[in-house]
Each structure stands twice: as structure tokens, then as C-alpha cells.
Structure 1
Amino acid sequence: MLSSSVFILLLFFLCPGQPAPQCAVPESQKDLVTYLLNLMVQAETDNAQNSLNPNPSLLLGLRLAQQHNLSVEQSALTKLQQDVVSKIQGGLPFSSGNVALYCMAMQASCHDPSDIPASVLPGGKLNLVNVLEEKLVEEIFNIEKAGTPVTNYYQVSLDVLALCLMGKPMTALTTQVLIDAAKTNKFNLSGTFSVDTGSVAVLALTCLKQFKTIQAFPTLQSRIESTIRKLITKIEQQKQESGIIGNLYSTGLAAQALVANQVNFNCNKTIKTILAQVSAGAFNNPMTASQIVPFLGGYTYLNVSSLKCSADQNNLPLPTPTHTSPPSSSNISVQFTVANPFLNSSNSIDVSVLNGSTLLTVMEKAAQLDPQHFSFTIQPSAYGPYVTSIQGVAGNSTDHTYWQFLSGTTSLSQGVGDYKPKNGEHLVALFSTY
């Protein structure tokens, strides 16, 4: 039986430079965290070998861990620097939240995002912090003009968090944008509170309230603290008996928000449930692994500004290749529906696929059987294949529309390339707004 001391809650007062309060992963299960890190290391290695775009979330997750493969992390940092210079030079699409993640990943690697080598640019360097500040100004301008950000409030919250971690003072207007969004339920997605967005907003506001320039205005400080409390209440309302908060994949960010504010939420139970899901393969997507690893390692994104790279140990060897089991030979039958309430249309089809197939395979089979009603397009993303259109209808950031996937009436928390349907399941692609 495990000693109860293994699960002791470390009660530290959180501020930049100090570790977050944490529950410890039992010694007997720390290999599961190593497994997640190995997935991320392998993904970074594959990206480098196949000349794929680097992923800042993976490097950020690797840095907020107790184990490190220093050569892989250094290679990932170099690739990020090269990629960001290429994006800026070529004028390629670069959303504000993505810029924020690049900044945070570089800062977590102890490299200044305002001083990126860039021989192809004037001055021989790139100041990515200035780029992020400009992106945030565009977001705020659009909120004032159209009532919504250019992207969404998740990305706006990331922007504020990244700039705060780099010590950039926020204007009262910027701070008020998050406060007003929380007050007017702008963190909702399809009418439901977004735990992911609310959690990142909490982290951003928690960082902001420690600024002396903010503390100099007691009224604003009070609003920030009141908003944090309000959002934490909403996050806690999404906690399930199992310890999951929102859904399985929002739990990592939610737990960070709660421990950053010393909220007692029985994180021992949350860790136990998360580790069971790791064992079941629920975090085999490296991107989802990167979002749970910081919490399991006792970190939050607020620790990005205080990491000491010189103290890192090179204690995470490259993973050994594992044997892949052959696919199942048995079939399952599922119903797949495409529904667009804006066009008052709904089409359903029964599809038979191999047991263990993904939702993407179901969609491909449906498109083969009836291309008129089930054809679709995808594009690669950090989480895997992302569905951009079905029946020729594409989501639109201006109209805030997207294709939402459900099992029955429950929204799926995994992407189409990861979710594996069960026999008899009813899967739905619903054109929705956010």
C-alpha cells in the first residue's frame, strides 16, 4: 500500500519564481509521466527528421517537466527560432495565440523572444515580443469595434499571459478586456462555459495582479481579484466526481488555474484519474500530453519566467521503439450524421469499419459511400487532422462558425484523428457557432 505521505499537498504561496502547489505523482506511477514525455520527445524528433513545422506547445511542455532530453529541447528551440523568422519574413499566417506560445516556449528555454537571430531580416534579429504586442492591439481593437476578438478569448488570454510573464506592463484597457469578457460570459463556447479559456484567463489575471503597476490602482486590483474568484467558481462547478474538470483534456489547464490560486480541489483524485487515463492511452496524442505534463510535474505556466536551464539534468533518453499491435479484424457499425441547422439540413448514414478505427476513418468511409452528403476537407494542426469543411461548407472565423463533433449530444473532447468510436455509437458533425 502506498504511504499517504506520497500524496502530501505542498502548500507554497505562489508567485513568479516559486513552484506551484502540487500533488505528487506516486513513485510507482512516475513511469507514466516519463511515457508522456517520451511521446513528446519522439514527436519533436519526427518533426525534425521529416522537416515538419515545430510545435511550441511540445517544447513548452517538455520544459515544464522534471526530466529533460537537452539535445532534443535545444534542437526544438532552434527549429522554433528558424520557423518564426520564416513566418515573419514570408508574411505567413500567424495568429496571436500562436505567437504567444512561441514566446512562452522560448522563454521557458531561457532564450529571450525579443532577441531571435535573423540574418535575413533588417538588423539581423527579430523581436517577437513586439510582434505579440502588435497582435494583442489588433485583438483589442477588434473587440472594441466588432465585439469579438480577431481570434478568440483563449488566444487573447494567452497573449496577456505571455506578455505578463515577460514583464511587459499591461494597460488598464487590456486588463479590463478580460474582466469584461468574464463578466459578460464571453468565455462560453456554444453556450457552455469553456474551461480551457477560463483557466488561461485565470492564469493571465493571476500573473497581472502581482504587477506593481496594477497594485498601484486598488480599484483595478479589486476587479482582477473578483474576476479570478468568479472564474474559479465556474471552473469548480465543472468538476466531476472523478476529479476531471470540464473534460479530460481541459483538466490540465484547469488544475493549473486552481493550484496557482491555492484552491483545495482534491487534486490527488484528479491525478489518480488522469494517470488511469494515461494508462488507457487517452493521452497518446503528443499535443494532449504536453498540456497535462506541467500539472503532473508540479508546474503551471506561471513558472515559465523562473525556470533555471543551467540546473536541468539530461535524464530523459530517447525512447526505445515499441512493437505496434496489428489492427483488429472485427468490424463495428456506427451511424454518422452531418447536420447544418443554418440550412435546415441533416443527413445520416450507417458505416461499418474495423474495431479501433478513428472517427476520421468513419468519415472517409461515409464520403466513399455518399460523396454528395459526406465529402469533407481537412488540414493538419497541432492536434492532428482538423476538419475545415463538410459538404463544401467551411467554418469561418468572422462568423465564428465551425464543425463540432458529438457522440449523441455530448461534444467530443478528442479530434477526429484520435477518437475511436464504439459499436452502435451515433456520431454527429454539427455546424455550430462559438
Structure 2
Amino acid sequence: RAASQWPETGRLALYLLGLRASCPPPDPSPQRFLVTWLKYYLEKDWAGSRRHGHPLTSYYQYSLGVLALCVHGKRVREEVIQRLLVAEQHRRVTRGIPADTEAVVALAFACLEREQLVRSRLAAELRVAVRGIRARFVEAQSENGLIGNIFSTPLAMQVFIATDKCRTHAAYGRAMAALLQRLDAFTSAAAMAQALPVLHGRSYLDIASMQCKEE
């Protein structure tokens, strides 16, 4: 199968998150076009998950797509969310996969609930799932403070920030100490984009409520 036929869900989702965070020009047309493409990619991924039992890309990219659409205030079909929720409930998301995937799933679920983009019953299920992910992060934290590895740790920390639990969990403080000791590991723009929000006490969810001012 040609690579061009595969949805580029993750790449476009990251671009849209970065675009929203950088306060784009007032004209919404370019963003609207990209959001439409992301919806298309996500639907293609969802169709693949029905056929193959998993997204065409990965659960990481799939959940990143849901998160990016949520940050832009766009609704996602409930079937698309349910597919991810069921996968998380059956631990398909993390089978042999680092903690970063589960962190992005939790951020997507937390965003959907916070922005009230899902019905109350589904929101309650998402809340339970996020709570479970957070508990597993606490349980899985290593003695050196990392949750997964150095690159998944900032994403896991964002889950604590997004759910207002960073002050009540000692695991967050240990993770922050571990992160500060290893900042020189973040040499790429993509890696730094995961760590910088945490260093400022923010998560990707805060992009949704950013107030952009003209300079």
C-alpha cells in the first residue's frame, strides 16, 4: 500500500496544535481547511480501526487527532471517541507501547469533557478513564521519577496538570525533579514542545482557552 494513502493524522494534529498556540492571523479560512482535513484523516483512521481492530496509523496519532480537534472547539463523532474509549478500557492502547500514548489519550478525553463537546453520559465514562490512566502513571512511576521514559514523562505530567492534580500527587513532584535533571535530553523541537508547557505549569488543553492579542 502506498504511503500517500495512509492518513497523516498525527502530523496534522501537531501542526494544528502549534498553529493554535502561536496565535494565528484572525482570518480563520486556512485553519478551517486544515481542520476539515484532520477530520477526514481521523474518519479514515476510524474506518481502519473498524476493519483491522486498530487505527491505520496508531492510537497515539488517533488520540492526538481527537485532542487537536477538541482544542479547536470542534466536535468529534461519538463513534470515533467510543472506539478510542473501548480500546483504552481493554488496554489495547498500551499493549507494549510507552506511556506517551496513554497520556495523549487522557489529554484528549479530559479536553472533550472540559470543553463540553460530548454528552454527559460519555463525559462521565471519559472522566473514569482519565482517572484510571492517572492512577496507572502513579503506580508505574520508576524510582528515578520518570513515568515511562524521559520523553513520555512530560506528557504524563500534563495529565496531572490538565486534571488539577499536580499539587495533590507526590508523583508529579518526583516527575518534575526528574525532568529538570534531564532537560538536556530535549534537543528536538517536537520533544521540547512536550516539555515546555509542563515547565510553565500548563498542558495542551490550555491552548483552547488562550487569549490572543494583536501586537
TM-score by length of 1: 0.45
Q: Quick one: distance in 2 between partners of 1:102 and 1:236?
A: 30
Partner of 1:201: 105
Provide, for residues 337-362 of structure 1, a one-character-per-residue CA deviation record: whole Å limited to 9, x for no partner: xxxxxxxxxxxxxxxxxxxxxxxxxx
Could you tell me which amino acid in structure 2 is paired with residue 162 of structure 1?
Answer: A
Q: Does 1:275 align with 2:177?
A: no
**Which residue in the other structure is 1:107 paired with?**
20
| Aligned with residue 175 of structure 1, among 81, 94, 114 | 81
Residue 149 of structure 2: aligned partner: 247
Q: CA deviation at 1:287?
A: 3.2
- Relative to structure 1, the CA distance from residue 262 to residue 283 in structure 2 (aligned partners, 3 Å threshold; closer, same or farther) is same
Give the gaps of 5 or more residues in structure 2: none
1:89-131 deviation line (CA, Å, top 9, x unaligned): xx79761111111111111122279522xxxxxxxx9710100
Q: What does 1:31-430 correspond to in 2, within 5 Å?
A: 95-111=8-24, 115-116=29-30, 127-188=33-94, 191-192=95-96, 194-214=98-118, 217-263=119-165, 264-266=168-170, 267-278=172-183, 281-310=184-213
Q: Which runs of 5+ in 1 are unaligned?
A: 1-90, 117-124, 313-434
The residue type paired with residue 125 of structure 2 is R
Q: Is the 8 A contact 1:139 1:150 kept in 2?
A: yes
Separation in 2, partners of 1:132, 1:174: 13
Answer whether contact 1:239 1:246 (CA < 8 A) is retained.
Answer: yes
| d(CA) in 2 for partners of 1:259, 1:153 | 22
* CA-atom RMSD in angstroms: 2.4
**How big is each residue's C-alpha offset from its partner over 1:260-316, in whole Å with a ceiling of 9 and x where there is no partner?**
1122333333222222222xx32234432332111011110001122234388xxxx
Provide the C-alpha distance between the structure 2 equivalents of 1:159 and 1:126, rounded to a whole number of angstroms.
Answer: 15
Distance in 1 between the 2:174 and 2:135 partners? Answer: 19
Report SS of the residue matched to 1:257: helix
Distance 2:128 2:139 in 1: 17
Counterpart CA distance in 2 for 1:270 and 1:194 is: 16
The residue type equivalent to 2:131 in the other structure is R
Distance (Å, rounded) in 2 between the aligned partners of 1:201 and 1:284: 25
* Paired amino acid for 1:152: S
* Residue-pair matches, total: 208
Letter of the aligned partner of 2:45 in structure 1? E
Residue 253 of structure 1: CA displacement? 0.2
* Separation (CA, whole Å) in 2 of partners of 1:224 and 1:285: 32
Contact 1:198–1:235 under 8 Å retained in 2: no
For 1:265, give the aligned amino acid.
H
Between structures 1 and 2, the one with greater helix share: 2
Identity %: 29
Indicate the SS of the match to 2:143.
coil
- Equivalent pair of 1:114/1:129 in contact (CA under 8 Å): no
1:113–1:246 Cα change, 3 Å: farther
State the distance in 1 between where 2:141 and 2:27 align.
Answer: 36
- Equivalent position SS for 2:185: coil
Partner SS, residue 110 of structure 1? coil
Structure 2 residue matching 1:159: 3-state secondary structure: helix
In the alignment, the residues of structure 2 paired with residue 243 and residue 249 of structure 1 have an alpha-carbon distance, to the nearest angstrom, of 13
CA contact (8 A) 2:100 2:152 kept: yes
For 1:206, give the aligned amino acid: A
How far, CA to CA, are the matches of 1:145 and 1:220 in structure 2? 24
